[in-house]
A and B are shown apart, each in its own frame.
Chain A
């Protein structure tokens, strides 16, 4: 029984050390933040208003397509990415999928005042302004119509990669997504994006390992919570789209996750058998000397 006592002491101190340098230390290094809010309560979005997609189509055609392409509705991009980036600072998004990717409340708030909705007003002081002008002069009903139209043209299903490409890739590269082909580089050239954001936004290839799922959800939902003052906008992804983004980050950055999780149990099972046999052999041998 002395051995059990010793094992207990060793396990106790090892556990205490582990608790101290891992969960405890990390709780101090990375303070807890509030859970993500997917209804974007802090900005006045639709405010319960219901839009009319047909009316929205006309408003969008008159107000948005000068800068935005909408491939599915027959408004192709007028310039290539580099020229777009040079003209606007960052490549403007194609609006074909916005109705699916972004929360309707958030979209309405964004159209009204992009800097407020994205929580990036600190970037646009001293005369600088958000590359997309706000449409707060519109009637709330008109903004609701725009959102209804964007929702009506959006696809019902998108792959994880499509969600990433539409929601993140204008600024972020994820080179491990196409390591040899290079097709997963950011759409906005580095020089432009650096001028616009202050830094080149990080490549996201290993973010699933470096940040982890929980942090990514909290951060994407509201970047200011973990990194106050960051230039990264809150983009207003729905929970479903955000999950798809993180699934894509996992497919790319932790591509062997399924293999790892499947292999773990049989591996440990084999070791349990080894341990049982080793103990049985030990008992047999030691019976002769005790």
Chain B
């Protein structure tokens, strides 16, 4: 280490010690992003902002929330919603952001899938992103329990009960998770700990890892063009800004992000003030009552598609119980997106519209997830059960066909 002689108490001394200018270059002015992008590339910054909104509003809620089954409901619905100045605003912001963050995550995720931004050097970006998705899911689920309303209680009862499925029962797993034989005060307190401490900590670390994994390989572009970043950066720095294929993160890329963010915030705050019931289910404004099962139990919209794969196989098949098959498919649905880069057998990075069969696969998958989501909310009776069954079967079929479809595209192009 070079010895630094400048005083600690001087601007140069501080700069020498912290290397702020170099850090700023690496992270901002010389962090190169392709120029050929569209507004979907702004979703990362939109997500980061939404997460910041969740943290800030969450801190305000934390000051009045009481993680105790006897106090939780009133601390939320009376203290925060009626008494605390702008407590309602923070709760609405928190509840709506928790829902909207999943919309943006899904858009972000399917942007990556569409443009092939998960392979050939970008696997780690995909994997860290999927870990974030799983952790956000746990964060959403644990947070939903905290107001201790009817849906909080019954969603917790149904979902923790999944861990009693099949042979898991013998392990006593569900009792261990709940801290008792039924969802109870200990369950609420431990999910509170997960929601406000452990999971946010993990999320923050994963965000850092996610950013780290994409800083070096660089993000993809609209045409999946392989860019020589060193040459293009040199052009840009020499003043050929219009010819260069890259732009710096600051201020060029972020200026576009802020513009998109402006529109997003209008959409988000419109929901906060005028259309919040989709994110704050009215049923959850009834206090938790273990003696009274609600007429319909369903998870938040962002879990509906995987919830429906659980209910899809509603009759015994292949010598197995319907519930066990559902549980296996549900388990698979949680993790299958993680292995996307390894199921795609196409050696080229290309956007979906340049991969004819994969393009069709992509849109069928989107429609299937939509169908699963809608029918995940409806009661699984009569024709609904069959729609759920076939949509689940299609979901499995799509995944099974992915390696063959991607390979076939590559062969047709002559890449294999």
Q: A interface vs B, CB < 8 Å?
A: 2-3, 6-7, 10, 13-14, 16-18, 20-22, 24-25, 28-29, 176, 179, 202-203, 205-207, 209-212, 255-256, 259-261, 263-264, 267-268, 271-272, 274-279, 281-282, 285-286, 288-290
Q: Residue of B at shortest CB range from A199?
A: B292
- Give B72 Cβ to nearest chain A Cβ, in Å: 13
Note all chain B residues with C-beta closer than 8 A to A259: 88
| CB under 8 Å from chain A, chain B span 106-133 | 107
Given contacts A176-B78, A210-B283, contact A268 B270 (CB under 8 A): yes
Residues in B neighbouring A7, C-beta threshold 8 A: 39
CB distance from B45 to the nearest CB of A (A): 12
Complex interface: chain A residues within 8 A of B35 (CB): 289
Shortest distance in angstroms between B108's beta carbon and chain A's nearest beta carbon?
A: 11
Across the interface, B81 reaches (CB within 8 A) one of A10, A28, A256, A264, namely A256
**Min CB–CB distance B389 → chain A (angstroms):** 18
B40–A6 touching, CB < 8 Å: yes
Q: In the complex, which residues of chain B have a beta carbon less than 8 angstroms from the beta carbon of A260?
A: 88-89, 92, 273
Evaluate contact between B273 and A286: CB separation under 8 angstroms: no
Q: Which of B77, B89, B370, B378 contacts A28 (CB 8 A)?
A: B378
Shortest C-beta distance, B387 to chain A (Å), equals 12
Stretch at the interface among B55-63, B163-171, B192-200, B255-263: B255-263
Say yes or no: is B411 at the interface (Cβ < 8 Å to chain A): no
Closest Cβ of chain B: how far from A279's Cβ, in Å? 5
A17 touching B301, Cβ below 8 Å: yes
Contact status A3-B38, CB under 8 Å: yes
Q: Within the assembled complex, what's the spacing in Å between the Cα atoms of A206 and B80?
A: 13
Residues of A within 8 A of B40 (CB): 6, 10
Beyond A202-B286, A260-B273, A282-B258, is A29–B379 a contact (Cβ under 8 Å)? yes
User: CA A3 – CA B111 in complex, angstroms?
Assistant: 13
State whether A21 and B377 are in contact (beta carbons under 8 Å apart), knowing that A206-B286, A210-B286, A272-B266 are contacts in the complex: yes
Residues of chain A within 8 A (CB-CB) of B103 are: 14
Name the one of B259, B287, B301, B377 contacting A278, with C-beta atoms under 8 angstroms.
Answer: B259
CB of A263 within 8 A of CB of B251, answer no
Contact between A176 and B82 (Cβ–Cβ < 8 Å)? yes
The interface residues of chain B, by DSSP majority, are classed as helix
Cβ–Cβ < 8 Å partners of A268 in chain B: 266, 269-270, 273
Among A13, A210, A263, A275, point to the contact of B370 (Cβ < 8 A): A13
Decide if B5 is an interface residue (CB 8 Å cutoff). Answer: no
Chain B residues with CB under 8 A of A21: 278, 301, 304, 373-374, 377
Query: Quick check: is B359 within 8 A (CB to CB) of the other chain?
Result: no
Majority SS at the chain A contact face: helix
Contacts of A281 in B (CB 8 A): 255, 258-259
B265 sits at the interface (CB 8 A): yes
CA of A10 to CA of B263, assembled, Å:
14
**B204 contacts chain A at the CB level, 8 A cutoff:** no
Task: With both chains docked as a complex, state the minimum distance between the C-beta of B263 and any C-beta of chain A, in angstroms.
Answer: 6
Are A256 and B252 in contact, with the CB atoms below 8 A? no
Is B48 close to A, CB under 8 A?
Answer: no
* Chain B interfacial positions (CB closer than 8 Å to A): 35, 38-40, 74, 77-78, 81-82, 88-89, 92, 103, 107, 241-242, 244, 247, 251-252, 255-256, 258-259, 261-263, 265-266, 269-270, 273-274, 277-278, 282-287, 295-296, 301, 304, 366, 370, 373-374, 377-379
Within the assembled complex, what's the spacing in Å between the Cα atoms of A6 and B374?
23
Residue of B nearest to A16 (CB): B370
Which residues in B have their C-beta under 8 angstroms from that of A272? 266
Q: Are B39 and A25 in contact (CB under 8 A)?
A: no
**Is there an interface contact between A211 and B252, defined as CB atoms closer than 8 Å?**
no
Please give, as numbers and ranges, the residues of chain A lying within 8 Å of B304 by CB-CB distance: 21
Which interface residue of B88, B92, B284 has the most chain A CB atoms within 10 A?
B88
B107–A206 touching, CB < 8 Å: no
CB distance from A114 to the nearest CB of B (A): 28
Q: Decide if A290 touches B242 in the complex (CB within 8 Å).
A: yes
Cβ B242 vs Cβ A282 within 8 A: no
Smallest CB-CB separation from A179: which chain B residue? Answer: B78
- List 5 A-B pairs, Cβ < 8 Å: A10-B107, A25-B377, A271-B269, A288-B242, A289-B242
Supplied contacts A275-B262, A289-B241, A289-B252, 15 more A-B pairs, CB within 8 Å? A6-B38, A6-B40, A14-B103, A20-B377, A29-B295, A206-B286, A210-B282, A255-B82, A256-B82, A271-B262, A275-B265, A275-B266, A278-B255, A286-B255, A290-B242
A267 with B77: CB separation less than 8 A: no
Q: Are B373 and A211 in contact (CB under 8 A)?
A: no
Report Cα–Cα, A276/B269, bound state, in Å. Answer: 16
Contact call B259/A267, Cβ cutoff below 8 A: no
In the complex, what residues of A have CB within 8 A of residue B107's CB? 10
Tell me the nearest residue of chain B to A207, going by C-beta: B285
Known contacts A28-B379, A29-B296, A256-B81; A285 and B265 CB within 8 A of each other: no
What is the CA–CA distance of A274 and B269 in the complex, to the nearest angstrom? Answer: 13
Contacts of A17 in B (CB 8 A): 301, 370, 373-374
Which B residues are CB-close (under 8 A) to A212? 282
A29 to B384 CA separation, bound complex (whole angstroms) = 12
Q: Which residues of the partner chain B approach A207 to less than 8 Å between Cβ atoms?
A: 285
> CB-CB < 8 A to B92: which residues of A?
260
Interface residue from B259, B270, B273 paired with A275 (Cβ < 8 Å) = B259
A267 to chain B, nearest CB (A): 6
Tell me the smallest distance from the CB of B55 to a CB of chain A, in Å: 20
